[in-house]
Structures are given as structure tokens and as C-alpha cells.
Amino acid sequence: MLPRIKKAELGKVHINEEVLTDDFLLHANGIEKMEKINKISSKELDRILLHDPDAAIFGIGFRGRVKIDQSVIDAAKKSGLDIHVLKTPDALKKFQELARKGRKAVAHIHVGE
């Protein structure tokens, strides 16, 4: 069942009955909690790729402060992924939009700035 995103605010995201205060991976089967990061590297992309998605979404914080290595974007495109790098609220909306269309989307969401 598709996770139900209820509310997103700086420092926390409400999904289903959980309030998440750390970064997390969001996919059709649920949520995987992760450590907070300030830079997205190949490690985060590798974790996304384990779910065999057709779209990867990176929520780079509410103010867009998380950096993403260009090598991550290049590797994602080379893998044939549809890639989206967005501020966290927009990333959550994009995940819902793609998932509702039947796309196999996976999102790495940063809950901080």
C-alpha cells in the first residue's frame, strides 16, 4: 500500500501514523529510516537502486541545503533513471504523483534545511 504523506514541516514529516525526524527512503512498500546527511553520494544512490526503481527522487531539504554530487546525477541517468532533485515538500509531492501513475519511484528525503 502506498505510504500516506500527511504533513511535511521543517524537521519532521508525518507519514501514515509515524512522525519522521531523520532522513528516510520512501518507496511503495514503505519507509526505511536513514541517518541525516548533508551531501548525497553514491552510497545513497546505491540504496535507492536496491529497489529497482524507474524514478529516483532526492528531497534536498526544506531550504535546499543538501548538496548532491554530480557523479550521482550522472550515474542515475546512465542507469536509465528518471531523476528529480527537489526541495523536500516538492519531492514528496513528486513521489506521490509518480507512484499514483504506477511508476516505481523511490525517494531519499532529507527532513532538515
| Residues 68-101 pLDDT 10s | 999 999 999 998 999 999 999 999 999 999 999 9
Angle, alpha carbons 4-75-12 (nearest 5°): 30
> C-alpha grid cell for residue 86?
527537489
Give the pLDDT of residue 67: 96
H-only helix segments in the chain: 42-49, 70-78, 88-100
**Cα–Cα distance, 26 to 46 (Å, whole number):** 14
Please say if the pLDDT value at position 1 is more than 80. no
Q: What pTM does this model have?
A: 0.93
Domains of the chain are 5-109 (3.40.1230.10)
Q: How much is the average pLDDT of 3-18?
A: 93
**Cα–Cα distance, 40 to 110 (Å, whole number):** 10
**Residue 63 binned pLDDT confidence (cut-offs 50, 70, 90):** very high
Please say if the pLDDT value at position 19 is more than 90. yes
**Cα–Cα distance, 105 to 55 (Å, whole number):** 5
**Cα–Cα distance, 12 to 70 (Å, whole number):** 27
**Residue 2 binned pLDDT confidence (cut-offs 50, 70, 90):** confident
Residue 60: how many CB atoms within 10 A of its CB? 24
